[in-house]
């Protein structure tokens, strides 16, 4: 079951609870944010040592950006930028 499906059923996942502790908010705040579509809980199941992270409204801002162009696209206009 996905985080969104759990949130819509009123269930708080382990990942939501972890994110709530990290953010210093109630787990229900994270669950409601996921249900409303303003918070996303991300977790990479292949890296079990990495904690899940909440991204969105009312939580700390976390941004991971790769700025640059692909070696396959040397012309920014063609790359859709």
What is the model's pTM?
0.73
In the prediction, which pLDDT does 72 show?
65
**pLDDT band of 48, cuts 50, 70, 90:** confident
List, as one string, the DSSP characters of 28-59.
HHHHHHHHHTSEEEE--TT-TTSPPEEEETTS
Q: From 48, 49, 47, 51, select the one nearest 20 (Cα to Cα).
A: 51
And the tokens for 26?
């109630």
> At 47, is the pLDDT very low, low, confident or very high (cuts 50, 70, 90)?
confident
What are the sequence ranges of the domains in the chain?
3-56
């Amino acid at each position: 079951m996905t985080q969104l499906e759990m949130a819509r059923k009123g269930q708080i996942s382990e990942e939501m609870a972890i994110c709530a502790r990290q953010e210093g908010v109630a787990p229900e705040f994270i669950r409601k944010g996921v249900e409303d579509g303003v918070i996303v809980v991300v977790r990479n199941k292949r890296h079990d040592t990495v904690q899940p992270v909440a991204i969105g409204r009312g939580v700390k801002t976390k941004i991971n950006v790769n700025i640059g162009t692909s070696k396959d696209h040397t012309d920014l206009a063609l790359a859709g930028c």
